[in-house]
Amino acid sequence: MIVERDIKVVRMTRGLATEFASMQSWKGERPLSEARLTHLRAALAAGSFDSPTWARATFKGKEIRMNGQHTSVLIAGTEEKEIPKMLRAVIKEYTVDTQSELGDLFLRFDHPAGVRHPREQLAALVVASNVVKTADRTLTLGAERGYEGLR
């Protein structure tokens, strides 16, 4: 059984990030992506980096990182003075009984079905741009499909 045993919000520090970055990873974790790190580094520099959610699970007495690889590596490599004072880490802690549950837990984070569809992203940009007062779903659908979609 997957049991969420704790959740905390803590101030982000380089030491905390180093702890998470060096933690044993789950065997299904994707390889570290330099492209993802570049994207996150740019967000940090621009002030648009959001406080990350990290997760770890205890399985057979060992702690395993379940979420937070890229963000913890990024912050671990950042000078303490460059880490925004208000940046926090949401840390979720779980206990699992089986390898299969580790896989199920891993899939809870960054699930493709939870990512905003390009249509929703486009609608948000249209509304935010103040070009139109309200985003008409037909307009955003047409824009997504190109000019032909507007006819």
pLDDT digits (tens, 9 = 90+) for 34-57: 999 999 999 999 999 999 999 999
What's the pTM? Answer: 0.77
The reported pLDDT for the residue numbered 28 is: 87
Cβ burial 41-54 (10 Å sphere, 16+ → b, else e): eeebeeeebebbbb
Sign of CA dihedral 12, 14, 19, 24: positive
Q: Which CATH architecture has domain 3-115?
A: Alpha-Beta Complex (3.90)
pLDDT in tens, 58-100: 999 999 999 999 999 999 999 999 999 999 999 999 999 999 9
Q: Where are the alpha helices (DSSP H) in 1-151?
A: 14-21, 34-46, 69-76, 99-106, 118-129, 137-145
Domain with CATH 3.90.1530 in the chain: 3-115
The reported pLDDT for the residue numbered 98 is: 93
The reported pLDDT for the residue numbered 113 is: 62
Residues 6+ apart with CB under 8 A from 53: 67, 68, 89, 90, 91, 92, 109
| Residue 115 pLDDT greater than 80, yes or no | no
CB atoms within 10 A of CB 136: 12
Identity at 3, one-letter amino acid code = V
